[in-house]
Amino acid sequence: MATTEQVSTLTDGTGGRAADDPTAAGEPPGAARGGPEEQAAQGRRMLVRLLRPYRGRLVAVLVLQAVGALAGLAPLLALAEIGRELLAPGPADRTAVWTAVASGAAGLLVRVLFTAAAGGCGHLVDGDLHLSLRKSLAQRLGRVPLGWFSRRSSGEVNGVVQGDVDTLHHLIAHTPGEFTSAVVVPVASLAYLAWVDWRLTLVALIPVLFGIAVHRLLSSEERRRQGMAVGQAMGRIGASSVEFVQGISVVKTFGGAGRVHQRYRRAADDFADFFLGYVAGSAGLASLSALVLAPPFVLLLILTGGTLLITQGAMPPAELLPFLLLSVALTAPVAALGHGMDNIHAAERSADRIHEMLSARPLPVPDHPALPDGDRVEYRGVGFAYDDGHPVLHDIDLVLEPGTTTALVGPSGAGKSTLAQMLPRFFDPTRGAVLLGGVDVRDIGDEQLYQRVAFIFQDVRVLRATVAENIALAVPDADRSAVVAAARAAGLHERVAALPHGYDSVLGEDIGLSGGEAQRLGIARALLIDAPVLVLDEAMSFADAKTQAELRRALDVLRAGRTQLVIAHRLETVTRADRIVVMEGGRIVESGTYQELMGAGGKLAQMWRAQHRHGNGTHEGTGR
């Protein structure tokens, strides 16, 4: 069911012009998602594409980091040289020793300077990418059809805008450093050690090769797949926790907190089981690898190999020192490499999700917006499919004459919401057209359209802003008296006026709204817009009897004199409507006044009888 959304003109203020940001270019919107391998490859491509504008600066980070890492080896090499000098037979060469000390100190200084510069540069790139991605995402989200949001939970959207963008932080700000060190330091150390003694170098390589082999095993396709599944399971927990928190008012009204909480717990338990399985599969191997790469083991191995060589007279004892100092520098990066790869895989997945969101097809906007002439609404041969090949609306012809009320009724899934949502362009028709004042709504500019068409569907979304700002969302320059008048007519004034900060109370901080109050806020918004056409889902499922009566009064104020398309759930609406449209299977199966349809004894009469058999005087059962 498409149930979401609030009142009216939540656009990005850009006029929804066609996107030209580099991040969004390329892939066809909503490109087919393949299997895990394909997704990983796609993620890699996306990552490269996202990072392309920062190529130059990223290379600079790598170079700075490489120089820093090499310089960092200098103190160790200096120590080794000093040791060799001091342990060699005969008097020590003072100049050589002091030169080594000075080189070590200089290396340390260069390392500190270059690593700091690399870190700073990396964080600057990261900051730029963050800003640009969040801007692009915000722009794109401001341009996608409103219906796009009803297919996604806010947890999911938040996960991309916040979580996935943050995941890229580690990749850009830290991974280049880790990676460069992980490559440069061992290679340089190996070269030096091989020059000192190639046999002991081979011994020192044993733990490194073992670590690399284990790492390859642990990053197999299968493990990647599991890693992806872990990410998805975490996403599900995130989504269910956000939904749990956001829906708490509804849940409490129904007394179903336990049930919903259980759903969250189940998601968490499933994740825990899955994660245990994931970790158990690799724990043994990973621990063994950690042991082999640990400094005590490496040193023991070198000491054993070194002792053998020394006792056989194959190597002078002083040569053991560089190995003891540098062998740890060989193995430590292997572990870092593992983390670095994990970060890269995580970033690839995030890049893929970010790219998918950036490729969401924006709602086309007219180059030359036309002005509607009047408020007559016409659905002309409208067909619609959410997914290709599965039409949910067929050949809808429907006219809403100005000032009339049209009630949509029909079983759940009949297509009522979809039909209603086409008028405020939650979606555009796949076939045919919806016209307002003789103009295709696709040819009307956003502002003009939403000045003329207000809508209230089931979920009224509120922003973390003041009550006044929330009411005046679509009319930001409305003065306070107009806001108060709208709130008063919607039955919200007394509640707001009683708050210490009145209309300046911040929703979600100073005040939380119940479901009924949120509905009233929606009505106040629509009243303030004062649009001549109103699209309304009058379901008030979570309101108690008193609240329902109050809401009805507020709605009656809102509806007076407007052209209305109402997803009807109430007997009065249906009986008083100028026209009832009965829908079934995405088609209009009956249309006429209450008397005509009841007299004809068709679908409406059948539905009516069925409801009365169940002792339900209202029209709830016709809808959701």
Note the residues at the interface with ligand ADP (CB under 6 A). Answer: 1-2, 150-151, 386, 392, 410, 412-418, 624
617 CB burial (10 A radius; 0-12, 13-18, 19+): exposed
> Around Cβ 395, how many Cβ atoms within 10 Å?
15
**Which residues face 440 on adjacent strands?**
435
- Nearest one of 316, 80, 28 to 197, comparing CA atoms: 316
**3-state percent breakdown (helix, strand, coil) of the chain, nearest 5:** 65, 10, 25
CA-based radius of gyration for the chain: 34
Q: How distant, in Å, are the alpha carbons of 63, 173, 341, 497 from that of 337?
A: 18, 15, 6, 60
> Around Cβ 188, how many Cβ atoms within 10 Å?
18
CB of 212 to ligand ADP, least distance (A): 47
Name 518's Cβ contacts closer than 8 Å, sequence gap at least 6: 249, 460, 462
Residue 345 or 570: the one with the smaller Cβ distance to ligand ADP is 570
CB of 2 to ligand ADP, least distance (A): 4
Residue 11 or 418: the one with the smaller Cβ distance to ligand ADP is 418
Residue 390 or 546: the one with the smaller Cβ distance to ligand ADP is 390
Element (H, E) at 432: strand 431-436
Residue 177 DSSP code = H
CB of 359 to ligand ADP, least distance (A): 18
CB of 8 to ligand ADP, least distance (A): 19
β-pair type (453-456, 533-537): parallel
Residue 107 or 424: the one with the smaller Cβ distance to ligand ADP is 424
CB of 582 to ligand ADP, least distance (A): 11
CB of 598 to ligand ADP, least distance (A): 21
CB of 223 to ligand ADP, least distance (A): 34
Q: Where are the beta strands (DSSP E) in 497-540?
A: 533-537
Rounded distance between C-alpha atoms, residue 187 and residue 205, angstroms: 11
Amino acid at residue number 420: A
As given in the structure block, the two tokens for residue 405 are 């009320």
Residue 231 or 410: the one with the smaller Cβ distance to ligand ADP is 410
CB of 416 to ligand ADP, least distance (A): 4
- Specify whether the CB–CB gap between 340 and 404 falls below 8 A: no
Residue 150 or 451: the one with the smaller Cβ distance to ligand ADP is 150
Residue 506 dihedral angles phi and psi, to the nearest 5°: -90, 125
Give one DSSP letter per residue of 181-232, joined into a string.
HHHHHHHHHHHHHHHH-HHHHHHHHHHHHHHHHHHHHHTSHHHHHHHHHHHH
- Nearest one of 114, 192, 183 to 333, comparing CA atoms: 183
Residue 349 or 569: the one with the smaller Cβ distance to ligand ADP is 569
As given in the structure block, the two tokens for residue 78 are 């200096």
> Around Cβ 320, how many Cβ atoms within 10 Å?
24
Residue 421 or 519: the one with the smaller Cβ distance to ligand ADP is 421
Residue 69 or 460: the one with the smaller Cβ distance to ligand ADP is 460
Q: Which residue is associated with the tokens 């806001």?
A: 483
- Specify whether the CB–CB gap between 327 and 185 falls below 8 A: no
**Alpha-helix runs per DSSP H in 465-622:** 467-471, 480-489, 493-497, 515-529, 545-559, 571-576, 594-600, 603-613
Residue 53 or 413: the one with the smaller Cβ distance to ligand ADP is 413
Strand, helix or coil for residue 292: helix
Strand, helix or coil for residue 440: strand
Rounded distance between C-alpha atoms, residue 378 and residue 397, angstroms: 7
CB of 516 to ligand ADP, least distance (A): 22
CB of 361 to ligand ADP, least distance (A): 14
Residue 149 or 542: the one with the smaller Cβ distance to ligand ADP is 149
CB of 410 to ligand ADP, least distance (A): 6
- Specify whether the CB–CB gap between 540 and 568 falls below 8 A: no
Residue 211 or 586: the one with the smaller Cβ distance to ligand ADP is 586
CB of 3 to ligand ADP, least distance (A): 7
CB of 613 to ligand ADP, least distance (A): 22
Residue 125 or 583: the one with the smaller Cβ distance to ligand ADP is 583
- Specify whether the CB–CB gap between 369 and 15 falls below 8 A: no
